[in-house]
Amino acid sequence: MNNRRNFLKLSAIGGLISGLLLSSKTLAGAATDGKSVVAGQPQGSATAMIKKPIVVSTWEHGMPANAAAWQILSSGGKALDAVEQGVRVPEADPNVRTVGLGGYPDASGEVTLDACIMDHQMNCGAVAYLKRIKHPISVARKVMEQSSHVMLVGEGAQQFAKAQGFVEENLLTEQSKADWQQWLQSGAAKPQINIENHDTIGMLALDSHGNLAGAFTTSGAAYKLPGRVGDSPIIGAGLYVDNEVGAATATGQGELMMKTVGCHLVVELMRQGLSPKEACRKAVERIAARLPDFASFQVGFLALSKNGDSGAFCIQPGFNYAVQLQGSAQLLDADNLLHQHAGAKA
Ligand code: SD4
């Protein structure tokens, strides 16, 4: 119930902030309508419609994460560095309960982390089921750059991280431990993946050189079965970057993104000419069409095109995403399928 309350509270706060921020949308320059021009870019030239640099990320904690990424992007830095540094912010924040330090543990009380990173040249690195290392995203980058592999898991990933100089530490905070113990006492028969514990971070950036990169990091579904790995470290499922087209990341029940290779699907839909938001919508609709009870799941996609347009779509209301570009930092509510259905029935 605690989780549910936290989710609702977060949604409410997110909604309030989005409302406030949305009211300043016209002042700040709309980041997601596909037509606006970033402040400081000359209008009318061929490059004027490309909004760069820009960074987008999932959920409210994307705001401080974007701010860290922006430090790099705004000084001409690389998208790859920006997304790594950006998502390290919630990884280190014990109050972000779905990422890194302080993340919800699995059913046995162990915090296990999944992460991946991808650059503009199709290089990628990932770790899964990583324990006791606070910054899995940086380990994923090391896998990409210092090994000939794409993904390391479990004990091997941990040994690799230690060999790369990462220090082991306890990631189960007192708060996470207390919540887990309460969950155990509540007699929860099986770990649930539901709409209450899906606020992890996926981040996409387009730098001033015109290159895209993405990063994704999470503690995964709360109280998951030990050994469970979600979509987050799976290239194509939780994250995909194609420098010719765009990039996508996801949030929600990872198994559904894995079954559909969801982020790859979103990028391919953009390749066919769909806007980021329409590509996200089509991917969500495809998932929902195969799920008779889709209304009890949450899945959300966030996408960024090669020209800096962004958009998102989800099943449930409540998913928001942060967008930062020159002169503007916003938290926006994603449109959702339930609302669309309600509208169609009315
Ligand atoms: C997973 N998709 O492990 C992740 C969890 C999450 O926002 O919360 N995403 O399934």
Whole-number Å distance, alpha carbon 147 to ligand 1 midpoint, is 26
Which domains, from first to last, does the chain contain?
56-339 (3.60.20.30)
The residue whose C-alpha atom lies closest to atom 3 belonging to ligand 1 is 220
Atom number of ligand 1 nearest to Cα 253: 10
Query: At residue 237, does pLDDT exceed 60?
Result: yes
* Three-state SS at 311: strand
Q: Assess whether 200 carries a catalytic annotation.
A: yes
Report which secondary-structure segment, H or E, holds 286: helix 276-289
Helix (H) or strand (E) holding 323: strand 320-325
DSSP symbol at 294: G
pLDDT average, residue stretch 91-108 = 92
How high is the pLDDT of residue 198? 60
Per-residue pLDDT tens digits for 9-36: 333 333 333 333 333 332 233 333 333 3
pLDDT value at residue 38: 36
To test the pocket of ligand 1, the residue of 198, 239, 255, 256 to mutate (highest count of ligand atoms within 8 Å of its CB) is 198
Pick from 73, 86, 85: which is nearest to 326 by CA? 73
With beta carbons less than 8 A apart as the criterion, state whether 117 and 140 touch: yes
Q: What is the pLDDT of residues 175-188, one digit of tens each?
A: 999 999 998 988 76
Report the pocket of ligand 1 as residue ranges, CB < 6 Å: 98, 198-200, 218, 220-221, 230-232, 251-254
Residue 49 has pLDDT above 70, yes or no: yes
Which pair of tokens denotes residue 252? 């929600």
Q: How far apart are CA 210 and CA 121, in angstroms?
A: 12
> For strand 54-58 and strand 201-206, is the pairing parallel, antiparallel, or unpaired?
antiparallel
With residue 337 as reference, give the H or E element that holds it: helix 337-345
Q: What is the pLDDT of residue 278?
A: 98
Which residue of the set 200, 217, 218, 251 is catalytic? 200
Residue 3 to residue 47: CA distance in whole angstroms: 45
Helix (DSSP H) and strand (DSSP E) numbers for the chain: 11, 13
